[in-house]
Structure 1
């Protein structure tokens, strides 16, 4: 589950759409989307992976 969260965070910090989530199971998808949302918050305050 932590891998799904990490992958979602990476997608979000790089500006990818939440529609690219590769997970189908609800638990993994939920973790991925949680990471994605966390990355959006971080991007708003100026963090990035440059």
Structure 2
């Protein structure tokens, strides 16, 4: 069970990162669960930081 939970949260993080790279707002987070939403927003913040540093265009 714990492995599935980690995979779900990792997927949420990855989806958030992709959303941040594509320029979506953090208001577009599709998750309601606090843990998944937190992971998604963490990925989104990383992507926005990377974009602002010029790592991606």
TM-score (norm 1): 0.92
Q: Does 1:32 align with 2:40?
A: yes
More helix by share: 2
Structure label with greater radius of gyration: 2
Q: What is the TM-score normalised by the length of structure 2? A: 0.81
Unaligned runs of 5+ residues in structure 2 are: 1-8
Q: Tell me, which stretches of 5 or more residues in structure 1 are unaligned?
A: none
What RMSD, in angstroms, separates the aligned Cα atoms of the two structures?
1.0
Q: Which has the higher contact order (CA 8 A, sep 6+)?
A: 1
- When the two structures are aligned, how many residues end up with a matched partner? 49
